[in-house]
């Protein structure tokens, strides 16, 4: 009960940021569930071109992770969260207002250019959001329930993505396929303005004062000079959750829709999958809190490596069978999503000291999402030309990457090349972790722990708590 109370306290205090996370992932995901309408209105009925248009957002995410991440490390986590939420709101509502080729060739070209620009703005905003919110929660919440608090991000993300799928389903049910193609596809983008303004207003309170450009440059220098191994590990650790979310799930939903799956079976599969991930989130968080975040991520990656091919094979064998879609695509992917994505950001947050944590998480997480998530739908679409089951092979390979990263990172820590746990010395995969300097966070001091070379650095700035300014 005490653990639950500590998690609920995080919800009570930081609900605007959590609402903003729901909204951001709704806004980010809505394009993928409306892909057929963008394919017709903007991309000359080319699925590959449409998914590449989706990918341009991911290309912008590392820049957002760096830019907004620096804002968070210099000006405060709350300020960077506000900038991210507000930028995402502009990018989303704007996409619902751009002209298409239905208004003429010139209007279509202008609309396509604006669409890409707004998608890039969304990428910049989203790139900063995950770093701002994840570091904020870990630095203000109870460290005893750190992973369970972090699971709130996974829960709100799943809610946002399902709401996006539900919005795409409802416009067809309410207005019909023809209206959805002509104009109703714009509505899910436009309606996001109301909750977006509420969230931006709530998260924008108590912003920090600005600092100097010299501090920004110093952050980048400190990150690149002292944390190259952390950046590499953080980037590769995202492979499983990224490929599963944007290849297996987002692309898979449209693939099934185009190959005979009924809208009812897909929306039910989405509800079952996201509900399963949400219900399992406390369990995954508890495992990470008691056994270590590396242990839970290793387990999830192995599950994905083993299940990627058989789950996808089952789906493509019977895409029009209601039970197969709901159980294999819905329940199966929901379980995999829970163990791979619900607390995954904590693994990356732990890699960086507080002084460069926001920008470090922003860059590594978003570079991984760009490489493994952004191009996943287009890659899955192209892989069908090799074999109908090859997308499943890609999912299994994606699970192997973070599993190997965990094993390699443990060896790097033993060689004192990398420090895996900058927030909680224990638990971490049942091993005695490296020890940060006494200046890091007094709540986590373990006098019996050892000190490794990468962690011998000043981790907090004077006058801050774990680097949180404002």
Closest-CA residue to 277 (of 340, 324, 326, 327): 340
pLDDT tens track for 175-204: 999 999 999 999 999 988 877 676 656 555
Provide the residue ranges of all domains of the chain, joining segments of one domain with +: 2-455
The CA-based angle 177-257-195, given to 5 degrees, is 65
Residues of the chain with pLDDT > 90, as a percent, come to: 37
**Tokens 């009925």 map to which residue?**
45
| Between 126 and 407, the higher pLDDT residue | 407
Confidence (pTM): 0.81
Q: Which pLDDT score is estimated for 431?
A: 57
Give the number of other Cβ atoms within 10 Å of residue 392's Cβ: 24
Q: Which pLDDT score is estimated for 166?
A: 92
Asked if pLDDT for residue 273 goes beyond 50, the answer is yes
Q: Which pLDDT score is estimated for 366?
A: 86
Q: Which pLDDT score is estimated for 438?
A: 33
Q: 154: which residues sit within 8 A by CB, 6+ positions away?
A: 277, 281, 338, 341, 342, 343, 344
For the segment 291-315, the average pLDDT, to the nearest whole number, is 92
pLDDT tens track for 238-258: 999 999 999 998 899 999 988
Asked if pLDDT for residue 41 goes beyond 50, the answer is yes
| Between 276 and 357, the higher pLDDT residue | 276
Per mean pLDDT, which of 35-49, 128-142, 389-403 is the most reliable? 389-403
- 350-370 burial: b if 16+ Cβ within 10 Å, else e: bbbbbbbbbbbbbbbbbbbbb
> What's the whole-number average pLDDT of the chain?
81
Q: Which pLDDT score is estimated for 453?
A: 47
pLDDT band (50, 70, 90) for residue 113 = very high
Q: Which pLDDT score is estimated for 223?
A: 67
Residues in a beta bridge with 435: 451
**Tokens 């947050």 map to which residue?**
349
Distance between CA 231 and CA 364 in Å, rounded?
Answer: 5
Asked if pLDDT for residue 115 goes beyond 90, the answer is yes
Asked if pLDDT for residue 465 goes beyond 80, the answer is no
Distance between CA 337 and CA 321 in Å, rounded?
Answer: 22
CATH topology assigned to domain 2-455: Growth Hormone; Chain: A; (1.20.1250)
Asked if pLDDT for residue 88 goes beyond 70, the answer is yes
Closest-CA residue to 75 (of 212, 200, 210, 222): 210
Q: Which pLDDT score is estimated for 163?
A: 92
Distance between CA 64 and CA 449 in Å, rounded?
Answer: 36
Asked if pLDDT for residue 272 goes beyond 90, the answer is yes
For the segment 224-232, the average pLDDT, to the nearest whole number, is 82
Distance between CA 78 and CA 207 in Å, rounded?
Answer: 6
In contact, 389 and 313? CB cutoff 8 Å? yes
Distance between CA 385 and CA 10 in Å, rounded?
Answer: 47
For the segment 396-417, the average pLDDT, to the nearest whole number, is 92
End-to-end CA distance of the chain: 31
Neighbour-count burial of 292, counting CB atoms closer than 10 A to its CB (0-12 exposed, 13-18 middle, 19+ buried): buried
pLDDT tens track for 341-394: 999 999 999 898 877 787 788 888 889 988 999 889 999 999 998 899 999 999
In contact, 115 and 98? CB cutoff 8 Å? yes
pLDDT tens track for 413-459: 888 888 888 787 666 765 555 654 333 443 443 333 334 444 443 34
Asked if pLDDT for residue 318 goes beyond 90, the answer is no
For the segment 392-419, the average pLDDT, to the nearest whole number, is 92
């Amino acid at each position: 009960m005490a653990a639950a109370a500590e998690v609920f306290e995080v919800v009570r205090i930081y609900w605007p940021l959590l609402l903003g996370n729901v909204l951001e992932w709704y806004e980010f995901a809505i394009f993928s569930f409306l892909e057929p309408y963008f394919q017709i209105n903007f991309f000359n009925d080319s699925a590959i071109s449409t998914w590449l248009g989706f990918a341009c957002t991911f290309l912008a995410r590392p820049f957002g992770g760096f830019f907004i991440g620096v804002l968070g490390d210099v000006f405060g986590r709350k300020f960077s969260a506000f900038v991210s939420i507000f930028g995402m709101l502009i990018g989303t509502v704007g996409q619902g207002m751009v002209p298409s080729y239905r208004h003429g060739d010139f209007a279509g070209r202008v609309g396509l250019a604006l669409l890409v620009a707004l998608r890039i703005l969304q990428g910049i905003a989203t790139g900063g959001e995950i770093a701002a919110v994840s570091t904020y929660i870990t630095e203000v919440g109870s460290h005893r329930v750190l992973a369970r608090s972090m699971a709130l991000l996974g829960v709100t993300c799943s809610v946002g993505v399902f709401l996006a799928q539900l919005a795409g389903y409802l416009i067809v049910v309410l207005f019909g396929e023809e209206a959805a193609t002509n104009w109703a596809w714009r509505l899910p983008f436009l309606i996001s303005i109301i909750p977006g303004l509420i969230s931006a207003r709530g998260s924008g309170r108590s912003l920090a004062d600005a600092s100097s450009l010299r501090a920004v440059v110093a952050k980048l220098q400190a990150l690149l000079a002292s944390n190259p191994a952390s950046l590499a590990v953080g980037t590769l650790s995202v492979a499983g959750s990224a490929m599963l979310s944007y290849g297996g799930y987002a692309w898979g939903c449209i693939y099934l829709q185009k190959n005979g799956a009924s809208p009812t079976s897909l929306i039910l599969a989405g509800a079952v999958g996201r509900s399963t991930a949400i219900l399992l989130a406390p369990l995954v968080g508890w495992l990470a809190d008691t056994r270590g975040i590396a242990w839970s991520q290793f387990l999830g990656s192995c599950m994905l490596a083993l299940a990627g091919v058989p789950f996808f094979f089952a789906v493509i064998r019977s895409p029009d069978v209601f039970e197969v879609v709901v159980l294999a695509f819905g329940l199966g992917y929901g379980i995999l999503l829970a163990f791979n994505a619900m607390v995954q950001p904590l693994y990356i947050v732990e890699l960086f000291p507080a002084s460069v944590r926001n920008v470090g998480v922003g860059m590594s997480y978003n570079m991984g999402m760009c490489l493994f998530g952004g191009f996943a739908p287009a890659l899955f679409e192209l892989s069908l030309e090799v074999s109908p089951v090859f997308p499943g092979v890609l999912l299994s390979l994606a699970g192997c990457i973070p599993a190997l990263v965990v094993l390699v990172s443990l060896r790097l820590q033993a060689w004192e090349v990398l420090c895996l746990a900058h927030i909680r010395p224990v638990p971490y995969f049942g091993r005695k972790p490296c020890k940060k300097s006494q200046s890091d966070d007094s709540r986590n001091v373990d006098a019996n722990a050892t000190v490794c070379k990468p962690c011998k650095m000043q981790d907090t700035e004077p006058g801050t708590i774990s680097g949180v300014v404002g």
